Every structure is written in C-alpha cells, then in structure tokens.
Structure 1
Amino acid sequence: MSIGIIGSGALGSNLARAFAKKGISAIISTRRGPESLASLIAEVGPSIKAGTVEEAASADIVIVAVRWESIEEALIGLPAWNGRIVVDGTNPVEFLAPDAPEDPTNPLAAYGIKAIDLGDKQSSEILSTYVPGARVVKAFNHLDVNVLPEPEVSGGQRVLFYSGDDAEAKADVSKLINAAGFFAVDLGSLEVGGRLASLPFGSLSATNFIKI
C-alpha cells in the first residue's frame, strides 16, 4: 500500500524518519511545496519522497500530521477520498507563542499548549467532516513525537495505540505500525479509543509503554 504524509512539522518529519529506518516508502508533503523538504529528504534517504499535498493525499493510507488549527487549510480542496484510509495524527491543542501572556486558567501553559474545547465531540469526529468518504483511523498522536524515530528501546517495542470504526482500515494501519517497528494496540472505536489516547486529557495520552 502507498503511504502519504500531509504535514512536515515535528510529527510528519519524525514519522518519515521512522519509516525510512525500516525502508518503508512514503511521500511527505507540505503546503510550502516539495522544494522546502530538500534537507529532510537528504537526511532520511531514498525511501521517502517529497511531493505535493495532492500527491500525498492520493496514497492508499494518508497520515494527517498537521496542527489542529491547520486541519481545514491542509485538507480543503483535495480529490475525493473514495474509501481510502486517513490516519488522524492530530490532537485538539493550541500551541502558545513563547511570549504569550500568563493565563492562570490554563493548566497546560507550562507545556506551551492550551486545550481546545470540542464540546462533546472527539477530534476524529471533527476531522472526518473534512475528508468525506474516507475511512478514518486515529493513530500516531499519543506519544512525544521526538521518540517516534526510535520505536525499539530497552529490549522491546514502543506501544502505539490506534482506533477506528472500520475493521479493514484498522488492520492495514496496524500492519504499518508494526512494520515501522512499533507494537500496535487496538483501542476499539473512534468514540472510545480516540478519547482514551487523545492529548492532552486522554487517560492513555503521553503514556509510553514498552512491549518486551
């Protein structure tokens, strides 16, 4: 299956590094254009290609690796999804500017983020509205992105959670997670698993389990 990554920030670039270590081919993209990814491509090697967002979005499995506030801009105007798999790697948080004024009502200010209130919805439910016709799986969102290039540590494999409502789509994402060197754990439906693993308040978010 072909793999596309939309977004080349911390999540997208570290996924590219993780995939490259296992020789997994993928197209990574950014709205700034393929040329802006030259240094990353030179670093990771030939299995990762730079492409347009449209090219990445045409893959069989498309990983959305952008900040929450950029979802609409990243996904608007792309070709019909037609049942292809979209992996939601986002979290509903706002990244604060370094000079942001102190906010005593924000318990996460020390981490440089602020939770976004989605009401009674979970994040993949909202992302799904921007990818009509896609099969959405939540994954790659619950760990510190800086550990993703090192899936095998301490004699074991880092656990990556995933969830979704389509069994076949989840099976394909599980295969990708395992192929990248992680240990995939199914958390069930998006409604259940998406909430459990979503930063910042999911009970399994930022939990770094190692499968020995």
Structure 2
Amino acid sequence: MRIGIVGSGEIGATVAGLFVRAGHEVAVSNTRGPASLAALVSELGPRARAATVEDAVAFGDPVVVLAIPFNGYRTLPADLLTGKVLVDTTNYVPGRDGADEALQSGALTSSERIAEHAKSARVVKAVNTLNYTYLLDRGRPGAARKDRTALFVAGDDREAVRIVAGLIDEIGFAPVETGSLAEGGRRQQMDSPVFNRPLKYGQLRLAD
C-alpha cells in the first residue's frame, strides 16, 4: 500500500517507520519541505520518500495519515483528499489549538471538525491514544490478539475503518472499533479512560 503522511514529528516519523517495516511505501511531508526530511527518509530506507504536503496526499493510495497538531488541519488540501482514507491521529488541546466552542462543549469531536474541512475524505480516528514511545515499543506482529496492545479506531465509513484496522493489525497492535466519529471519537479523546494507557486486548474490560 502507498501511504502519505502529513507531519514528520514524533507520531509521523514513528508511524512511517512502522508502516515501512510492515512492507508499505510511505511519502513523508512537513511544512518545512522535502529537504528537511533527508535524514529521516535515509533512516527509513528505500520504501520511504520525502514529499511536499500536496505530493504526500496525492501519493497516499488510499491512505493519508494526519500527524500534525490539530489546528493545522485547515492547511490540508481538501480537494486532493477525495475518496482517500484520512487517518486522524490528532488531539484537540485548547491551550495550543485555540478556543472552539463546539469541541469544548462536546457538541462535536475533533475528528468531526476535520471531516467538515475534508468533506470528500473518509476520516478515521486512530493512533491518537498512545504516546509515540508506546507505538515504538509495544507492537507485536507475531503475538496472539489477546497479548497485543490495543489501538482504537472510530469512523463512519465501514470500508475505511476496515482498511485502517488492517494496517493496525499489520504493525502488531490489536485494532478495537469504538464506533462512529461522534460516539467513538469521544471514547478516544484525551479525557477518556483509554487515553495513553497501553492496554492489552485481553485487559479491555478493566478500562470500561
């Protein structure tokens, strides 16, 4: 699969490495431009390339990963995202991202806000609940599902959720569906019981 990644920070670089090791091709981008990514793509190897944001979005077939601070979603080229599976790894942090009454009141989830911007994309909330260090250390591709660390997935498009769940399985985590972008997205927010808790699939009842 070809995966475009918007963002090259801790989450973006980490998921790029996980996907490359699983056999996928990635195009990594940031706002500073491809030249700033030379060291990262050299480390990732021949399945990785540096790209502009627009080129990374175009490269993703069908998956594009959004791995930037939440308030940067407005810079996404929405016209290039038609039909793409947009994996939203962001979390809304009011002190950093600014006031948003609908998000702060709970009327909308941050992923629903992103879906409003990228109307033609199939937005899936995933890979947002664990710190990048857990992502680096907890993947167990050969382990039984019950022994894998859970990663949660929410979305309104069933096929998009299936695609993202498959990628999560490939990198060694146990995908757990939480529902729609509204209901499931709330279950994955920063104040939720599962946030930044590296729970094994077999432990999930303890988090209810």
Q: What is the TM-score normalised by the length of structure 1? A: 0.82
3-state DSSP class of the match of 1:152?
coil
Match of 1:13 in 2: 13
CA RMSD of aligned residues (A): 2.3
Match of 1:207 in 2: 197
> Which of the numbers 169, 172, 176 marks the counterpart of 1:181?
172
- Distance of aligned partners of 1:115 and 1:18 in 2 relative to their CA distance in 1, 3 Å threshold: farther
Per-residue displacement from partner, 1:14-53 (whole Å, max 9, x unpaired)? Answer: 1112222323221111111111011111222222221111
Q: d(CA) in 1 for partners of 2:148 and 2:24?
A: 17
Q: How does 1:150-161 map to 2 (within 5 A)?
A: 150=137, 151-152=139-140, 156-161=147-152
3-state DSSP class of the match of 2:55?
helix
Per-residue displacement from partner, 1:73-120 (whole Å, max 9, x unpaired)? Answer: 3x1x45342222111110001576xxxxxxxxxxxxxxxx99976122
Q: Is 1:35 aligned to residue 35 of structure 2?
A: yes
Match of 1:71 in 2: 73
Match of 2:160 in 1: 169
Aligned-partner residue type, residue 187 of structure 2? L
Q: Is 1:127 aligned to residue 118 of structure 2?
A: no
Matched-pair contact (CA < 8 Å) for 1:5–1:26: yes
Match of 1:196 in 2: 187
Matched-pair contact (CA < 8 Å) for 2:150–2:201: yes
Deviation at 1:159, TM superposition (A): 1.1
Aligned-partner residue type, residue 155 of structure 2? G
- Distance of aligned partners of 1:94 and 1:152 in 2 relative to their CA distance in 1, 3 Å threshold: farther
Deviation at 1:203, TM superposition (A): 2.6
Q: d(CA) in 2 for partners of 1:210 and 1:48?
A: 30
Match of 2:129 in 1: 142
Matched-pair contact (CA < 8 Å) for 1:93–1:115: no
- Distance of aligned partners of 1:78 and 1:192 in 2 relative to their CA distance in 1, 3 Å threshold: closer
Percent of paired sites with the same residue? 36
Matched-pair contact (CA < 8 Å) for 1:54–1:78: no
- Distance of aligned partners of 1:49 and 1:94 in 2 relative to their CA distance in 1, 3 Å threshold: farther
Q: What is the TM-score normalised by the length of structure 2? A: 0.84
Matched-pair contact (CA < 8 Å) for 1:68–1:94: no
